[in-house]
Amino acid sequence: MSHQKGKKIVIKIGSNVLTQSDGTPDRERMAALVDQISFLREKELQVILITSGAVAYGRKSFSLIEKTDAVVQKQILSAIGQVELIQAYKQLFLEKTVPVAQIMVTKSDFRDRKHYLNMKGCLEGLLKNKVLPVINENDTVSVTELMFTDNDELAGLVAAMMDAHTLIILSNVDGIFNGHPDHPETELIERVAPNSPSLSHFIAASKSSFGRGGMITKMNMAKKSANLGIEVLIANGKRENVLIDYYHNKLKCTYFEPGKAKLNPKKWIAHSDHYSKGEVVINQGAEKALNSGQTVSLLPVGILAIHGDFIKGEVVRIIAEDGRKIGLGKAAYGAKVAQEKLGLNNQKPLVHYDYLYLFDHSA
Ligand SMILES: Nc1ncnc2c1ncn2[C@@H]1O[C@H](COP(=O)(O)OP(=O)(O)O)[C@@H](O)[C@H]1O
Ligand SMILES: N[C@@H](CCC(=O)OP(=O)(O)O)C(=O)O
């Protein structure tokens, strides 16, 4: 693995990496990671940081005085903790003369193309100006269904959006093990080839004390990102010199080999399942054509039904006759026009090939 100048790396740090076992902030660990990120920047790699820890920091710095609803509690703690978290990063990066910027996002910011491009433009501007973007989910407004599964999902979305070369997920384990990491006989899975079968049977539902999603989301997100051409490493952020070892290609971790990179616009579509506004049911002929490996767009002649409402530019879910989810695509026109063209020949594609993403059923 060589590290070209300008290589874009997204690094995600989990809550557990930044806290000690009793939940108090682990300043030493944060300082060590700040040093290492600064080292990568000195080597002229571009880094985007996704960091969890707001709730954990808030919990340790503030005690609620009134009986408060659990959801509001989390909102309060994250709002309080985020200030502490970013303050701690700012102070430490200042010592390294690295300017930082705080970016708080919600799932809806990935919902439409406009928000998405605005966010991307801002991050690109920051990188160009050599500012380190420090991203976290805006937990004060993201509750229940508006939430990302966790920051691993957010990190995958950001890596795809920014066309990153590498995504490094730092947790409190060395990677994915072929059993529970606490069992002595389990071994670290060091390499995962593109399109290899799911590893979910190895993963216990347990998660670390402050984590939200657990290893399953990390694995799903890592596979998806690798299929989009991004190399993904799940590694132990508590390990000394984890990022330096990454730089010197000697990191012990789970490495997801990147698949062949696909066309760029497809990356945001691949991550848009939750945001799709409508469904397009296609016939068997259309399904076969789309899966043929050829450059095929989705034409109205192969569409059996349109469900839900969507406008031009929004993402639609593509469904087989028997209800299987086949893929996602950006609609070239809205649901109303699509209804009129249903089953007709010689019509403009509803989803152009460049904006069509088919699910990989091995993931
Ligand atoms: N097969 C496995 N390999 C590695 N970790 C596993 C496995 N099964 C369960 N886990 C658990 O997943 C946890 C990491 O996920 P999570 O709690 O979400 O961390 P983070 O806070 O870093 O996002 C580990 O601490 C570990 O206990
Ligand atoms: N936005 C939350 C992050 C929640 C989360 O995803 O945590 P983790 O599983 O540790 O990455 C916080 O800062 O506390």
> According to the 3-state scheme, what is the secondary structure of 143-184?
CHHHCCCCHHHHHHHHHHHCCCCEEEEEECCCCCECCCCCCC
Number of the ligand closest to the Cα of 176:
1
Rounded Cα distance between 234 and 210, Å, is 18
Q: Which residues of 284-304 are buried (b: 16+ CB within 10 A; e: fewer)?
A: eebbebbeeeeebbbbbbbbe
Which of 11, 103, 212, 216 for mutating ligand 2's site (highest number of atoms within 8 Å of CB)?
212
Output the pTM of the full model. Answer: 0.79
Pocket-forming residues, ligand 1, beta carbon under 6 Å: 14-16, 171-173, 176-177, 180-181, 202-204, 206-208, 210-211, 213-215
Q: What is the pLDDT of residues 235-249, one digit of tens each?
A: 999 999 999 999 999
Report the share of the chain in percent with pLDDT over 70.
93
Residue 113 has pLDDT above 80, yes or no: no
* pLDDT given at position 1: 64
For 251, other C-beta atoms within 10 Å of its C-beta total 21
Residue 88 has pLDDT above 70, yes or no: yes
CATH of 8-266, one of 3.40.50.1820, 1.25.60.10, 3.40.1160.10, 3.40.190.10: 3.40.1160.10
What the block records as the tokens of 175 is 């990677």
Find the mean pLDDT for residues 97-113: 88
- Judge if the beta carbon of residue 109 lies within 6 A of ligand 2: no
- Judge if the beta carbon of residue 51 lies within 6 A of ligand 2: no
Enumerate the domain spans of the chain. 8-266, 276-358
**What Å distances lie between residue 64 and 74, 75, 81, 178, CA to CA?**
11, 12, 13, 41
What the block records as the tokens of 247 is 């730089």
Which of 55, 57, 170, 208 for mutating ligand 1's site (highest number of atoms within 8 Å of CB)?
208
Handedness of CA 232, 238, 239, 243 (dihedral sign): positive
Residue 262 has pLDDT above 60, yes or no: no
Query: What is the DSSP annotation of 40-74?
Result: HHHTT-EEEEEE--HHHHHHHH----S---HHHHH
Look at residue 224 and give its three-state secondary structure.
helix
Q: What is the pLDDT of residues 21-64, one digit of tens each?
A: 999 999 999 999 999 999 999 999 999 999 999 999 999 888 88
Spacing, Cα 28 to ligand 2 middle (Å):
19
- Judge if the beta carbon of residue 216 lies within 6 A of ligand 2: no
The β-bridge relationship of strands 231-236 and 191-192 is unpaired
CATH of 276-358, one of 2.30.130.10, 3.40.50.150, 1.10.10.60, 2.40.50.100: 2.30.130.10
